[in-house]
Amino acid sequence: MKKFNKNIIVFISIYIFILTGIFGSSDFISKFIKETKHYIKTIPSFNISSFDNFKNSLETMSSEKIGYHDDMVNLHSVYQNLLGTRIEDKEETVVVKSNSGGLVGDLQEKKFDLYVNDKVEQIKEYKKLADDYNSEFLFCKVPSKAIYEELPENVTDYSKENYSAIIEELLRENIPTINCVEELRKNNISYNEMFFNTDHHWTPYAGFTATRIICEELNHRYGFNYKNDYLSINNYDVKEYSDCFLGSYGKKVGLWFSWKGADDFELYTPKFHTNLSEWHNGSSVEKKGEFVDTCLDMNKLVMDYYHSNLYHTYSGGTYRLQIVKNKSNHNNDKILVIRNSFACVITPFLSLQAKELHIIDDREGDYPEGERVNVEKYIEKIKPNYIIVIK
Amino acid sequence: MLFSSTTFLYLFLPIVLFFNFIIFKKSRLLQNIFLLFASLFFYAWGEPKFVLVMMASIVVNWFFGLIISKKRDNKTISKLIIALDVAFNLSLLFVFKYLTFAGNVFNDITGMGLHIPSIALPIGISFFTFQAMSYVIDVYRQKGEVQTNILYVGLYISFFPQLIAGPIVRYETIADEIKNRKETVDDFFNGFARFVVGLSKKVLLANSFAILADQAFDSAKNGDSISVMFSWLGAIAYTLQIFFDFSGYSDMAIGLGRMFGFHFLENFDYPYISTSITEFWRRWHMSLGTWFRDYLYIPLGGSHCSKARNIFNLFVVWALTGIWHGANFTFLAWGLMYFVLLVIEKLTGIHKKNGKVINVFKWFYTILFVVLGWVLFRASSISDAIVYLKSMFGLNGNVFSDGMFTGWFTQNLILLIIGFVLCTPIFRVLSEKTKSSHVVGCVKVVALIGLFVLSIASLVGSTYNPFIYFNF
């Protein structure tokens, strides 16, 4: 009797696996049919670019639309972890697993004076605008994870050196500056409390602490009147969501590239009454109400590792322009914040300390969406009391 | 389109299998026509306009095949047809692959500063032109029936399993199978299992070694001083990368061919266990070696001539073998390196000597030159190759070892061990010894399924999937 060929089982199993990927997806087939129909219509025009578009669509679709895409990313991360891989280069970002298992990216090239000078010149330009329009100025230099982490021997990074060099130069130029690395150290905030494991951002707790540091510095330099109670953690409800946040690095390399897995996420909401309004570019509606209804976007608090960003629960994310008005504020101060994404977990708490908080993201590129705001014209228009650059 | 892509695995292959084995199963003619158009579509996926180059090659070689089958008895005309066919195919290869290089060399030598057009290289042109020549020559030698139907010639030249990365399938190997193949259940499922093995080699091993090799070679190219140990690590990583990539592709090609009822010859036979350079070239890229042997070396006289003539024949073959791999002096140097080593072996007879100790020595010098040869092969210029080779021997004032070496080595240790083991025929030996074991059979099934799933995970989870045959 002929021996049963076990490779039949291999074929059948694998094809069940493939068909599960195709039919287990909500839109693989429909997208394939749609793209193919669209391409067939363009064939008579012999247009190469329509073939290229068709090709790119199918290639993206066949990878990203298979039903178990996220599970495959997780499996890949397990495989890489078991092999001992510490460095993954994905989508032009190098993600490194530190000695403590934290995920680190945004590694910095060797320190060059040109890089330092370039950064300092940018800050000086903002300071000059503040001086020209009689606003008080403060620069808050946020830290990067790489400063704190111990990286493998085959990774070189100059984040620490570059950070120190920039601070040194800013102080030499008499630019009012907060050295967050130093200030957070003074506040006894540990590294684990400071940064997410799987994301490049700092935690809401670090942002909250940074808000207090900013207020204290503004008070020390310019007599800024702030409400200390609003900067005490005891006056906030803290809700912890365990193992629910997979940050930017984690999304690239997978859930289990580090055995630490996903991060916990904390949501701070004031115990006290608040009355705010919030508007941002691209929105047709001004939100009004309590802190949770205006400064937070609870729609972003979705427990989906790869398709949500819990960090954007704070502030709703990054917008080219966002305005928060505090109806029950104790002073008449107008603050302009020029920011990067680290300010997401600062501006909600800072908005409680001013009558108006205007937030501009003037970074180059397509992110965030929308037209870049002309910072000088905006300062001229709103005449803020304080300009804080958080970068 | 690459075999190691989700587009091929989730779209192209299932659709082709469905149409070939279900829709057109009752008509060999329709199957062959379908496979031809599927192959042309597969090729066009990379660059649509180059399909025209392939179609021109099909038409011309079909035409020459017809003429030569009718004029076979007239030696003068036959030789003329062969010469014209070879000239056409080599001209095609020259224009697309070597013209820019040759023009730049001419300008460098003469200083004339002629405008040299930059011509894109159709993927796989080295493979399909050699296959096309094989068709006409094998028809002349009566090693295969002439195909009056141009579609069948087209299918032979463009068949997607072996189109872009070989093996070079000689016409005589599959001439009969074009019309008279028998797809069997065993061939189909065993072919698929072979395909899965090849996919795993490429995705799980070759792609990982590529990352390490690129780190080392790119650092050296950028002018960074790399340590002796790191440069050796990079060279060894590339040695493993190119083997698992190329042999993986061959496994996939052979496996796919088998699924459709075609039986291609083996292309790799554990080359890194070779104990001489002569043996290495009987185990590495066998389809290329035998092609040059049968279509160039033997017609030139082979070894059945004076020693001087034999050395000349070897020189021609190895210079062309080198340059076939790419339009760069590095490939020529690589080929000529093997020419020198083979001549030394021929003159000394060392490759025929045997003994436990001498075999270890022979293996060592063989693998040493193979690794050094891959440095030449990988480098983008002779000067880059020299810099890298000097690093390997500490001649750049570089340190012996550093954090780059220890970091990359520890992070790749498991993979390196797996790679070294799989370079030996240990699994083939174990498989033979346990072929009647039901338990081992079940383990193999689970392993193959697991490898496929892991390969998909790697394709989805990682964006790094290099294609190293763009020079070919």
CA distance, residue A291 to nearest chain B CA (Å): 39
Say how far apart CA B372 and CA B179 lie, in whole Å.
45
Residue whose entry in the numeric block shows the structure tokens 């040759």 = B102
Say how far apart CA B16 and CA A217 lie, in whole Å.
69
Say how far apart CA A280 and CA A294 lie, in whole Å.
11
How high is the pLDDT of residue A4? 84
Test B407 with A76 for CB contact under 8 angstroms: no
CA distance to A39, A70, A182, A371, per residue, from A76 (Å): 33, 10, 38, 38
Chain A neighbours among B 363-392 (CB < 8 Å)?
Answer: none
Say how far apart CA B291 and CA A80 lie, in whole Å.
40
Amino acid identity of residue A387, one-letter, is: I
Amino acid identity of residue A106, one-letter, is: D
- Torsion, Cα A55 A58 A62 A65, to 10 degrees, reads 140
Say how far apart CA B328 and CA B34 lie, in whole Å.
38
How high is the pLDDT of residue B121? 84
How high is the pLDDT of residue B222? 87
Coil, strand or helix at B245: helix
Asked which of A104-113, A320-329, B379-388, B392-401 is least confident by mean pLDDT, the reply is A104-113
Q: Which residues contact B225 (CB under 8 A, 6 or more apart)?
A: B391, B396, B397, B398, B399
Coil, strand or helix at A17: helix
Cβ pair A386, A222 in contact under 8 A: yes
Q: Cβ atoms within 10 A of the Cβ of A199, count?
A: 22
pLDDT at A111 over 70: no
User: Is B325 an active-site residue?
Assistant: yes
Residues of B in contact with A90 (CB under 8 A): 462-464
How high is the pLDDT of residue A323? 97
Test B408 with A91 for CB contact under 8 angstroms: no
How high is the pLDDT of residue A27? 87
CA distance, residue B244 to nearest chain A CA (Å): 18
How high is the pLDDT of residue A68? 94
pLDDT tens-digit series, residues A327-378: 987 788 999 999 999 999 999 999 999 999 999 999 987 777 778 899 999 9
Cβ pair B461, A83 in contact under 8 A: no
* DSSP assigned state of B325: T
What mean pLDDT is reported for chain B? 92
Long-range Cβ contact pairs of B350-357 (< 8 A, separation 24 or more): B350/B276, B351/B275, B351/B276, B351/B277, B351/B278, B351/B279
Amino acid identity of residue A182, one-letter, is: E
Taking CA–CA distances from A57, the nearest residue in chain B reads B7
Which among B115, B285, B304, B325 is annotated as catalytic?
Answer: B325
* DSSP assigned state of B26: T
Taking CA–CA distances from A75, the nearest residue in chain B reads B457
Residue whose entry in the numeric block shows the structure tokens 């799980």 = B204
**Mutate which of B218, B411, B412, B445 to disrupt the A interface (most A C-beta within 10 Å)?**
B411
pLDDT at B172 over 90: no
Q: For residue A8, give the nearest of B189, B208, B463 by CB distance.
A: B189
pLDDT at B468 over 80: no
Q: Which residues contact A100 (CB under 8 A, 6 or more apart)?
A: A149, A150
How high is the pLDDT of residue A116? 86
Q: Cβ atoms within 10 A of the Cβ of B91, count?
A: 12
**Mutate which of B462, B465, B467 to disrupt the A interface (most A C-beta within 10 Å)?**
B462
Test B449 with A17 for CB contact under 8 angstroms: yes
How high is the pLDDT of residue B465? 72
The per-residue DSSP string of B246-284 comes to HHHHHHHHHHHHHHTT--PPP--S-GGG-SSHHHHHHHS
pLDDT at B470 over 70: no
pLDDT tens-digit series, residues B80-136: 999 999 999 999 999 999 998 999 899 988 988 888 878 888 888 899 899 999 999
pLDDT tens-digit series, residues A217-258: 999 999 999 999 999 999 999 999 999 999 999 999 999 999
Interstrand relation of A334-339 and A287-289 (parallel, antiparallel or unpaired): unpaired
Residue whose entry in the numeric block shows the structure tokens 């073939």 = A51
How high is the pLDDT of residue B196? 97
pLDDT tens-digit series, residues B1-23: 899 999 999 999 999 999 999 99
Test B190 with A87 for CB contact under 8 angstroms: no
What is the rounded average pLDDT of the residues A1-10?
A: 85
Residue whose entry in the numeric block shows the structure tokens 């995920």 = A103
**Tokens standing for residue B377:** 């092969």
How high is the pLDDT of residue A92? 80
Element (H, E) at B362: helix B356-378
What mean pLDDT is reported for chain A? 92
Cβ pair B284, B268 in contact under 8 A: yes
**Tokens standing for residue B304:** 């059945």
Test B412 with A73 for CB contact under 8 angstroms: no
Amino acid identity of residue A350, one-letter, is: L
Test B10 with A73 for CB contact under 8 angstroms: no
Residue B472 pLDDT class (50, 70, 90 cuts): low
Q: Indicate the angle between helix axes B382-392 and B228-259, nearest 10 degrees.
A: 120
Residue A251 forms contact with B (CB below 8 Å): no
**Tokens standing for residue B367:** 């693998």
Test B189 with A152 for CB contact under 8 angstroms: no
Interface predicted TM-score of the whole assembly (ipTM), two decimals: 0.91
CA distance to A223, A386, B231, per residue, from B143 (Å): 97, 88, 48
pLDDT at B255 over 90: yes
Residues of A in contact with B416 (CB under 8 A): none
**% of chain B with per-residue pLDDT over 90:** 71
Cβ pair B130, B171 in contact under 8 A: no
What is the rounded average pLDDT of the residues B64-82?
A: 89
Residues of A in contact with B415 (CB under 8 A): 83
pLDDT tens-digit series, residues A165-224: 999 999 999 999 999 999 999 999 988 899 999 999 999 999 999 999 999 999 999 999
**% of chain B with per-residue pLDDT over 70:** 99
b/e string for B225-244 if b means 16 or more Cβ within 10 A?
ebbbbbbbbbbbbbbbbbbb
CA distance to B53, B312, B384, per residue, from B322 (Å): 24, 15, 18
Amino acid identity of residue B415, one-letter, is: L
pTM: 0.92
Say how far apart CA B322 and CA B328 lie, in whole Å.
9
Measured CA angle at A228 (ends A192, A216), to 5 deg: 70
CA neighbor of A363 nearest in space, from A345, A334, A382, A389: A389
pLDDT at A48 over 80: no
Q: Cβ atoms within 10 A of the Cβ of B114, count?
A: 9
Radius of gyration of the CA atoms of chain B, in A: 23
Residue B312 pLDDT class (50, 70, 90 cuts): very high
pLDDT at B180 over 90: no
Residues of A in contact with B449 (CB under 8 A): 10, 13-14, 17
Chain A neighbours among B 315-344 (CB < 8 Å)?
Answer: none
CA distance, residue B472 to nearest chain A CA (Å): 23
CA neighbor of A97 nearest in space, from A161, A154, A164, A159: A154
Say how far apart CA A112 and CA A123 lie, in whole Å.
17
Residues of A in contact with B189 (CB under 8 A): 5, 7-8, 10-11
Asked which of A83-87, A385-389, B223-227, B404-408 is least confident by mean pLDDT, the reply is B223-227
Say how far apart CA B208 and CA B419 lie, in whole Å.
10
How high is the pLDDT of residue B471? 61
Coil, strand or helix at A67: coil
Asked which of A90-94, B61-65, B239-243 is least confident by mean pLDDT, the reply is A90-94
* DSSP assigned state of A176: -
**Tokens standing for residue B431:** 């498989």
